[in-house]
Amino acid sequence: MRVAGLFAGIGGLESGLAAAGHHAVTLVETWAPASAVLAARFPGVPALADVREVASLPAHDLMTAGFPCQDLSQAGRTAGIGGAKSGLVDHVFRLMEAGATPTVLLENVSFMLRLDGGAAMTRLTDAFEERGYRWAYRTVDTLAFLPQRRQRVFLVASRVLDPADVLFADEATPLTTETTLDTHAHGFYWTEGIRGLGWGPDCVPTLKNGSTLGIPSPPAILLPDGAIVTPDIRDAERLQGFPEAWTGPAGEIGLERLRWSLVGNAVSVPVARWVGERLATPGHHDRTRDRDLAMAERWPPAARFDGSHRFAVTISTHPVAVPRPPLHLFLRHPGKPLSLRAASGFLERLGRTRLRLPAGFLERVAAHRDRMLTYPAPTRRRPAAE
């Protein structure tokens, strides 16, 4: 398929689709660091900037849009689908109509199924149905492919194929491993500790995009030897399925601090590849999975519209189960030790929480904090004398 990528970011969707045999004919992205990455990683592909100023797109078979999630994310503004950022999805429908787009692939956070009673999904599905598209969506976890727990909604709408045969043709039993703190790495959010941990046995919790100022917010990883580190940006890229140094071009234009935001905002490449493979060769949706989707029912993790009726679909978040090495062996680069200040603050919050902590976790955090008391402080480069 010829792909027109809106809100392309650093090309996660488009990279995965390319690996499945599709090719981009244009990429639309307005954020400078992301545009620098696209220019370097998709040479020769025409680039457009502000989607609001795009009147039409080149001929294409598939439009993709990982539209902004800031207004839909549980960690973001939660202004809803009508927010200034997430509301830009309206331009998807404008450009669909202008170019008679046959098939559309959208991606966004799973929290939009619950925010404002599911208003975002209602708005999207109504818009597709009004234009004569069948649709299906499924919540998919990156953990099926990589050691990152990351649930995202993938929605396919089409006039030429049945989206259910794309998204619901595959299901796998998640791979499970018996983990202990002594044998496997465990990821968590060191910035939390009161209401949650984001605890991930042999995986990291969802990589975030950091602050609006570009301050990174990587998760922490407790290694089997008791060290607590935050992953290197190159391993963060790999945890999203990119080759390491994929976001390097952003650093080359002086925006190194934003590389974490680029990675956190991205679509996981292997998930996009799986969707792309099924777009190229649709499978078969087992309709015994269907049940009527009552209008008053909360939006489920997966659903479809066959042209006349809406159905909830019973299916897991794991379309495949890809064998992989343990997290601590997956990592290629030494992480940065969690600082004394960060470890102390996290430990203080753990002391006030009512959460049920994993056995031995509190003691390991305290031991790491104590080791950091003697860890060399970072040196600051002095300005050159005039």
Catalytic residues: 69
CA dist 71 and 84 (Å) reads 8
> CB under 8 Å to 369, separation ≥6 — which residues?
340, 343, 344, 347
CA dist 54 and 66 (Å) reads 17
Select from 352, 317, 348, 346 the least CA-distant residue to 197.
346
Strands 47-48, 23-28: pairing is parallel
State phi, psi for 36 to the nearest 5 degrees.
-65, -40
Select from 263, 272, 332 the least CA-distant residue to 37.
263
CA dist 236 and 372 (Å) reads 24
CA dist 171 and 163 (Å) reads 15
| Other residues' Cβ atoms within 10 Å of the Cβ of residue 192 | 17
State phi, psi for 13 to the nearest 5 degrees.
-60, -45
